[in-house]
Amino acid sequence: MTELSKDIMQLLEWLGYFGNDPEGGVTRLLYTKEWLEAQKALEHWMNTEGFDVHFDEVGNLFGGLQGTKYPNETIMTGSHVDTVRNGGLYDGQFGIVAGLLALKHLKETHGQPLRSLQLVSMAEEEGSRFPYAFWGSKNIVGTARREEVENISDFDGIAFVDAMRDCGFHFRNESATIRQDLKAFVEIHIEQGSVLEKEAKSVGVVNNIVGQRRFTVEVTGEANHAGTTPMGYRKDAVQAASAMICDVINRARVHGDPLVATVGKIEVKPNVVNVVPGHALFTLDIRHTEKSMLVQFTEEITTALNQIAKDMNVGLQIDMWMDADPVPMDTRIVEVIEQQCKEIGLNYKLMHSGAGHDSQILAGLTPTAMIFVPSKDGISHNPAEYTDPYDLAEGVKALIGTLYTLAYEE
Amino acid sequence: MTELSKDIMQLLEWLGYFGNDPEGGVTRLLYTKEWLEAQKALEHWMNTEGFDVHFDEVGNLFGGLQGTKYPNETIMTGSHVDTVRNGGLYDGQFGIVAGLLALKHLKETHGQPLRSLQLVSMAEEEGSRFPYAFWGSKNIVGTARREEVENISDFDGIAFVDAMRDCGFHFRNESATIRQDLKAFVEIHIEQGSVLEKEAKSVGVVNNIVGQRRFTVEVTGEANHAGTTPMGYRKDAVQAASAMICDVINRARVHGDPLVATVGKIEVKPNVVNVVPGHALFTLDIRHTEKSMLVQFTEEITTALNQIAKDMNVGLQIDMWMDADPVPMDTRIVEVIEQQCKEIGLNYKLMHSGAGHDSQILAGLTPTAMIFVPSKDGISHNPAEYTDPYDLAEGVKALIGTLYTLAYEE
């Protein structure tokens, strides 16, 4: 293992100690003791490295190197410090660790940058403790609203506000101006999919984050006795739902990449072996890099499902409860990353992100792009999350080269 | 409403008082206080009518009129006294009430029969309190085994044995000879389906009770991130299960009546909106009046499901955990019932039963047949269970005529 790979692994394990869960993996939820310990430990580390360190009001941690020529232009990197319950060592953490090592390396090798360089350890992205995601990045870009979290609590009934205050943080002043110094954000993250692994690539250069639409589809038939109701008398909600699921997924396959359609959840009522089900509900998650395709596919399946419901004589209710547009990454930064990959000789692939990331929020404020490293077997949000240390180092090299270009070159 | 309809309704409501549930309907589970009160009240009523009354060891209640010429040949009618939780006024009860009124009428009109006539209020059929069904009828025919219930308990942890003993009953002597006097059993019951209602018939003459096979079908794919896993990389257990469900149900429809196939229960793992499901399980309940068709359909769908699993690259496990053969009703008794329907001028239909009944157990010991009356909207096992009092009376007329032929004629 190279020195860089070793350094990365050592830091990942060090950071993963905060929230090390006896039931497996890392559980480091927003505004918990483990979370605060991790942020404080990172603060200490950044101080040791000689970065200019500060927390913002809500607990995002920043550590920077001031620019010698353009101190008011900031190139930022980093990711989120929170994890899901029983998460792995890489999701979020790796972006922070990689940034830490990149800034350290750049400072040691090239001294102070022309533009300010900043590492961020964002407070929250996963939405795992409270029903709110991207709390960290949304506070940076100024779209988080006090009233959105004022009345939410975690599973133990602890109010968001109390948890935040107990950690020593408080709401951002929403009337204050949003920072104007950010000129670029580059986030390195695990892919959380198996595309890089399957194509044997070490690095992904992300040019787009998919848009998502999520639906609940409710099918209403008629509950009947499984023995005494001839097939011709039935309004079988499960039969109709199954036909709909087959139809939607087949249509998605016909359209092909990058469209994905997933039926992740099914609920049947009464859900007993000897009753023809009167009610079936399923969720549908569709994603694509082009908004127009999301709109078109929504129309296509709405028509198709209504036709099936009509043919099968069941009621149908389609409810879209999430509609997030795709977020294209900044073309110039994508080019810089790609150029660096070529110069260093990395085995890379231009790709989109099928998962959501802090970058999609930051992109609303500043030019943004992402670097991916492979996820073994596509696994994430799980103690079994793993990336080969070789690939981790390849990713950090791409990050270092990119940050150098953005912060050290005219 | 005719006098007969009024008498039936009055008795149904009287009997339904025992176990009248504040949450709706009737809850009269085996060996509960309500159950014992109902049996004791029926015992009292039968005594009042001058029947020869006795309980067997396990709590089946019998009340009879001795035959003048063939006292050792018994024609029996009746049904089960237990209900499901929040059951209706008709399921089981009606067979007892109808038998009571039939015997009373026959005795008052024609005096003692040539053959003995007996009413039975069977202890248990539903399997609603303990995981054991047909406890009443299986004790009559001698197939209930002590060891099958010795270690079972209800949801509150009360042992079957304790509940039975607390009601004053105990195990049948399994080495004793089974009664040899039974020459016929005729059970009247609600249809629990909507065939009679849809075809506007008052009475069903049952010529067969369907056989049933029940399966659990387990599909094993691979859980994956809904956003980062292209369609081509997926092993989607829900997509495969949906294709299988469509296939099985379509095949059942192609075969046509009396085949029915029901997927009543689906369980998906992890069952969250943004994960391609790695695991799906569904139950399959198939019924037909011919065993050969159950066997043939089982083979057909086993081949078809395995082909789908192969095509979709998922694992498949098909587990058959119930295999009950069809039970044809006794041809002679079916003819007697049909003849009576014709003579009385009833609006009847020859049909099979898609549900299980005590009659399928009794048929193992003695020639057996059933009479159905309609179920409004096919509803049963529910407080909304309902049969028009007119149809109830038509059913009782068919029963009276049948019992007269069997017990009073040479």
Q: What pLDDT, on the 0 to 100 scale, is given for residue B83?
A: 96
Contact B224 A353 (CB under 8 A): no
Residues with Cβ within 8 Å of B155's Cβ and at least 6 positions away in sequence, in order, are: B129
How much is the pLDDT for B363? 98
Instruction: Enter the tokens of residue A30.
Output: 């927003």
Distance CA B366, CA B182 (A): 6
Quick one: tokens of B334?
């079916």
Q: What is the pLDDT of residues B311-327, one digit of tens each?
A: 999 999 999 999 999 99
- Is pLDDT at B188 greater than 90 in this prediction? yes
Put simply, whether A225 touches B (Cβ < 8 Å) is yes
Which CATH code fits B3-210+326-408? 3.40.630.10
Q: Mind listing the pLDDT tens digit for each residue in A106-164? A: 999 999 999 999 999 999 999 999 999 999 999 999 999 999 999 999 999 999 999 99
Give the pairing type, strands A115-122 and A70-80.
Answer: parallel
Phi, psi at B215, each rounded to 5°:
-130, 155
Mean pLDDT within A15-29: 96
Tell me the one-letter amino acid at A325: D
pLDDT in tens, A49-88: 999 999 999 999 999 999 999 999 999 999 999 999 999 9
Report which secondary-structure segment, H or E, holds B103.
helix B93-110
Q: Is A115 left (phi over 0), alpha (psi -120 to 50) or beta?
A: beta
Q: Residue A410 has which token pair? A: 């005219």
Please give the helix or strand (H or E) that residue B116 lies within, else none: strand B115-122
* Identity of the amino acid at A82: D
In tens, the pLDDT along B212-269 reads: 999 999 999 999 999 999 999 999 999 999 999 999 999 999 999 999 999 999 999 9
- In A199-314, which ranges are E strands? 203-209, 211-220, 224-225, 260-262, 266-269, 275-276, 279-288
Q: Which residues pair with B235 in a beta bridge?
A: B222
pLDDT of residue A264: 95
Q: Which is nearest to A387 in space by CA: A123, A128, A204?
A: A204
Written as six digits, the tokens of B301 are: 């769908």
Which residues, numbered 335 to 354 in chain B, qualify as contacts with chain A under a Cβ-Cβ cut-off of 8 Å?
Answer: 353-354
Query: Residue A153, exposed/middle/buried by CB under 10 A (0-12, 13-18, 19+)?
Result: middle
Q: CA-CA distance, B72 to B280, in Å (whole number)?
A: 57
Tell me, what amino acid is at B61? L
- Taken as a whole, chain B contains a residue count of 410
Residue A92 pLDDT: 98
**Nearest of A80, A94, A83 to residue A34 by alpha carbon:** A83
* pLDDT score, position A63: 98
A287 inside 8 A of chain B by CB: yes
Annotated binding site of A for Zn(2+): 80, 91, 126, 189, 381
Percent of chain A whose predicted confidence (pLDDT) is above 70: 100
Rounded-to-integer distance, Cα B65 and Cα B117, Å: 5
Q: What dihedral angle (degrees, nearest 10) is formed by the CA atoms of A285, A290, A292, A294?
A: -10
The average confidence (pLDDT) of chain B is 97
A340, A401 in Cβ contact below 8 A? yes
A273 touches chain B (CB under 8 A): yes
Q: Give phi and psi for B77, each to the nearest 5.
A: -135, 165
Query: What are the chain A neighbours of B193 within 8 Å (beta carbons)?
Result: 224-225, 227-230
Residue B1 pLDDT: 84
Residue of B nearest to A226 (CA): B262
Q: Which residues of B267-285 are buried (b: 16+ CB within 10 A; e: fewer)?
A: bbeebebbbbbbbbbbbbb
- Residue B92 in this model has a pLDDT that exceeds 90: yes
The count of other CB atoms within 10 Å of the CB of residue B140 is: 28
Domain residue spans in chain A?
3-210+326-408, 211-324
The two tokens of residue A243 are 């036909």
What pLDDT is attached to residue A259?
98
pLDDT tens-place string over residues A178-229 = 999 999 999 999 999 999 999 999 999 999 999 999 999 999 999 999 999 9
Please state which CATH number belongs to domain B211-324: 3.30.70.360
Contacts B268 to A, Cβ<8 Å = 264-266
Q: Compute the average pLDDT of residues A333-342.
A: 98
For A343-365, what is each residue's pLDDT tens digit?
Answer: 999 999 999 999 999 999 999 99
| Percentage of residues in chain A having pLDDT higher than 90 | 99
Q: Do A262 and B268 touch (CB under 8 A)?
A: no
CA distance A242 to chain B (A): 5
Complex prediction ipTM: 0.90
Residue A271 to residue B264, Cβ atoms within 8 A: yes
The predicted-structure confidence for B56-88, as pLDDT tens digits, reads as follows: 999 999 999 999 999 999 999 999 999 999 999
- For residues B111 and B47, give the distance between their C-alpha atoms in angstroms, rounded to a whole number: 17
* Predicted confidence (pLDDT) at residue A1 exceeds the cutoff of 90: no
Residue B292 has pLDDT above 90, yes or no: yes
pLDDT band at B130 (very low <50, low <70, confident <90, very high): very high
DSSP helix/strand/coil, A177: coil
B265 → closest Cβ in A239, A257, A271: A271
Q: What is the DSSP string of B162-191?
A: HHHHHTT-----TTSPPP--EEEEEEEEE-
